[in-house]
A and B are shown apart, each in its own frame.
Chain A
Amino acid sequence: MANSNLNWSSVCGGLYSGEEIGAFVFDIGSYSTRLGVAGEDLPKYDIPSAVAYDENYEEKKDTQKSKYSFGDVEIRVPREGVQIQTFLEDGMISNWDLFEALVDHVYAKKFCAASNEYPVLMSEPSWNLRAKREKVTEIMFEKYEIPGFYLAKSALLTAFASGRPTALVVDVGSKQTSVVPVYEGYVLCQGIVRSTLAGDTLIAESQKLLETMNIDLAPIYTVKSKDPVGINEQPKWTKKTNLPNVTPSYHNKMLYDLLCDFNSQVVQIPETSYDDSLHDNAPAVSYEFPTGFNSEFGNERFRIGECLFDPRQLQVMRNAQGMLSVSLAVTTCVGMCDVDIRSNLYSSVIVTGGTTMLNGFTDRLQYELQRKIPPTLKLKMHNSQPNIQRRFSAWLGGSILGSLGCFHQLWISKQEYEEGGKNCVERKCP
């Protein structure tokens, strides 16, 4: 796992002494941003893409504290007037001030390196807009004065890292699901299908369920102490007094954390379509909340998992626009691609993204697709990668590419940028 405590100089002096560091690799996701050095097996840092910023910073004029804070621990400190916000929308960078604040932080506190010394390989969503690609190129060259830059589509990095120049990359992340057809090393942009049914949808479902059950969802930062209690007994806990006046965005982030944890421990994707009677006898899982309250969850955990494959089961965002079941997103995507390549895509389905780590995900997707696609087409899902790689696959692909000697001719060099301007990214990084 990425270790946020390692500092750069100790790394250089230790493992990498004498070896030249090739490039930095940034894989930016809406949930977290993976950062590290090209050629390594894992990103050195996996930090939340949520940034905390002090909205009263200007008034306070306290130069000891900075306006922004980053990192799993830092953003979770309760403070008055501190907002939590992410810089991405639709997987694309949208708040450039926050993005720059993060990059500043990364160079100063994580890499502890001068940005003008190392090229940067950055991932981007396959649907990234031209104006945004140009803007990030401009910022990296103008503000950070990097010597070289490459922008690589994450679906492509994931496909390549699994040895497949042709693949169907199914990415179920926090805010969206995307299905991206990759053919012969290129993304077929016209075939991309995106759906807002993803990890956060299940989080909203769990919240609704737990609230209906009248479970107190007090996040951990509000809990001073708790005593053990038996299952389903009233919790015995005391609330922290003298808490600062936190912002709603901070509170919601802490609640989100709680629900994320609940989902990853409790939610299960049923093997076949969810059915109350079938799942009533399913094994229950117990979960303890920050207040100490603990309970068992049986068929609920299947009902929530089912939503990814059947949005009619949704309680919260019913009839919301743009919600396609994961399997429908896949068949729609392939249906938009040329008939001749459909069998190639179905025989190389790659599953990636944090939400696909939910128990039973891959088996269920396989089951659904098997039922939907013509029997003459061979379906093959690539799921042998260990779970840890599943969240880091795009970063890893970038790490390898960025470390190849032969790849260096493909970077946008500083000189090319200076001569051709920011629009050279279209040509150099197709």
Chain B
Amino acid sequence: MIKLRNIDRYIDKRLQRNFILKGIDLDIAEGDFVSIMGPSGAGKSTLLNIIGFLDDANEGEYYFLDEPVHSLNEKQKSEYHRSYIGFVFQAYHLIDELTVYENIEMPLLYRKVKGSQRKSMVADMLDRFNIVAKKDLFPNQLSGGQQQLVGVARALIGSPKLILADEPTGNLHSDQSKEIMETFKKLNKEDGVTIIQVTHSDEMASYGDRVINLQDGAVTENNPYEEE
């Protein structure tokens, strides 16, 4: 599904080039549940953003579903965001001025889903995450865990093939974290959704099938697919 070859991401300063990512080769197959780990500042978020088309590599090649990403235009990237990729963020990033219901509904609006269908889809999500009672509240009226549930629901409602989660449980208690991880696992096993998460916790990583270690912008763990 995802094929990175010799990816460099750097910031040019005067007299000096700072590499955030250097020579990344990475393959992730459909249905994988991958955890990216590594010390702070290793470039995990940067890598995830590149995978999610939010950031561009400076060098190297990136194929998403065999499509060369570097030649996609902005609109095509947005199309992928609408129908293939869902994001979950550590800081939730819900829209403050919209209610829980409206936040979850938002991706469907961009996908031009019909009103009645939209209603039932959002209702399903609210149900699934047990937040029906909160649907008319605004994000700042929710606890962090509840907000993250909304964030996950928002990511899932478009039935994406790929979920990118940057420290989704970073701000949560262990119970809440577990709940989210269970959801991910279920999605991965039952619906075959590919999941890539960034985490600092071995426990969270253990929900996944595979760990990628990132150190100073380079992958230190062997890439199981590389030999093929």
Does B associate with A?
A: no
- Interface on B for A, CB 8 Å cutoff? none
- Interface on A for B, CB 8 Å cutoff? none
